[in-house]
Amino acid sequence: MNVLIYGAGIQGSFLAHSLNKGMNHVTLLARGKKKDKLITDGLVLQHTLQRKQTKDQLRVIDTLKADDHYDIIFVTMKYSDFPQVIDSLARNSSSLIVFVGNQVNPAALAAELQKKSLEKKEILFGFQMTGGTNTSNGTTVLHFGKGKMKIGSISSSFTATKRLDTLFAKTDYSWQYEAQMVDWLESHALLIMIQNSYEYVYSAAPKKEKTRSQLDQLAQAMKEAVAVMDHAQIEILPKKQKYLFSHPALTKSLFTIYYQLPISQMVQGDFKEVYYLIRTFMQYSLEKQPTLKELLTQAKEKYEATI
């Protein structure tokens, strides 16, 4: 299949590597120095847990033209960057688009793209279980197993099963249909947003040295987030997370252990994305969630002081 990965960050790079097998023809959209490096050196990834390096030679472009046709386009951008690609996707003739990454309002994004498109598109959403870091020495990818993505629709219609099965058939990567994709995305984005806000606010201290009061704030904010999602009728997925984050003592114990592990140092985030998640999320009234509101406000104001 002819596939475009729109975005060459950690998520897009690992997906491009994973799909570059069998009968697939993978194109990676990148710009600037990233594009130049991909053309010169290929797509080089360091797989942390697997202790190996991979190198793929891919077709690289920097612009999606209106008449460029792909069987499927995966948009692997940060949440803050999705609005910037709507127009080029709308003009393009490809009809199957999968937005991969954090989302707190997938319906609005899909509606905007559909409204601007000349022809109807099938718009799906996916989430890849992958992390990593970008350094001067290259891209390091953190993934468990061979790679997996949840994919679903914001509507009851889902007609892409055969195409996705064909795409992933000859790869080591797998996909799983998620019937409650909106709930999954929104609940996951909120919990990630809170954790990243906490780490950003207290970034001066090493992760393994978080104080008891700081962890208490994180745990209470998570509990209050569960109440917000319940009120908004968002189901927390996976379901076991609701029980965990409803009990601050359990949450605190979990993160106390997590911040002692080397894996907590292996995931790199961009707070710009989290900042835009916060701005979208704070449309909800948080008067009954004072700890959550305080943490998000602290993170938002700290970031705004840098721009």
- Higher per-residue confidence, 111 vs 260: 111
pLDDT in tens, 32-49: 999 999 999 999 999 988
* CATH code of the domain covering residue 8: 3.40.50.720
- Higher per-residue confidence, 138 vs 166: 166
Same domain, 205 and 289: yes
Same domain, 91 and 73: yes
Same domain, 13 and 130: yes
| Residue 146 pLDDT class (50, 70, 90 cuts) | confident
- pLDDT of res. 210: 64
How far is the CA of 21 from the CAs of 47, 76, 173, 279, 293, in angstroms? 18, 19, 10, 39, 46
| Residue 76 pLDDT class (50, 70, 90 cuts) | very high
Q: Cβ neighbours of residue 142 under 8 Å, at least 6 residues apart?
A: 48, 49, 130, 131, 132, 263, 266, 267
Same domain, 216 and 159: no
Give me the domain span that covers residue 236: 183-304
Q: Quote the CA–CA distance of 284 and 232 in Å, as a whole number.
A: 9
- pLDDT of res. 36: 94
Same domain, 61 and 172: yes
Beta strands in 107-210 (DSSP E): 122-128, 131-135, 138-142, 148-153, 174-177
pTM (predicted TM-score):
0.92
Token representation of residue 141: 């990818």
Same domain, 231 and 288: yes
Question: Which has the minimum average pLDDT: 22-31, 76-85, 143-152, 204-213?
Answer: 204-213
- pLDDT of res. 136: 66
Total of domains in the chain: 2
Query: What is the rounded average pLDDT for all residues in the chain?
Result: 91
Domain end point (choices 133, 159, 179)? 179
Task: Identify which of 55-69, 200-214, 276-290 has the greatest average pLDDT.
Answer: 55-69
Q: pLDDT at residue 269 above 80?
A: no
Same domain, 155 and 198: no
- pLDDT of res. 209: 54
Helix (H, G, I), strand (E, B) or coil at 137: coil
Same domain, 233 and 119: no
Q: Cβ neighbours of residue 307 under 8 Å, at least 6 residues apart?
A: none
Domain end point (choices 155, 179, 203)? 179
Domain end point (choices 119, 146, 179)? 179
Same domain, 204 and 106: no
Same domain, 79 and 213: no
Same domain, 167 and 33: yes
Mean pLDDT (whole number) for 267-292:
87
pLDDT in tens, 225-263: 999 999 989 999 989 999 999 999 999 999 999 988 887
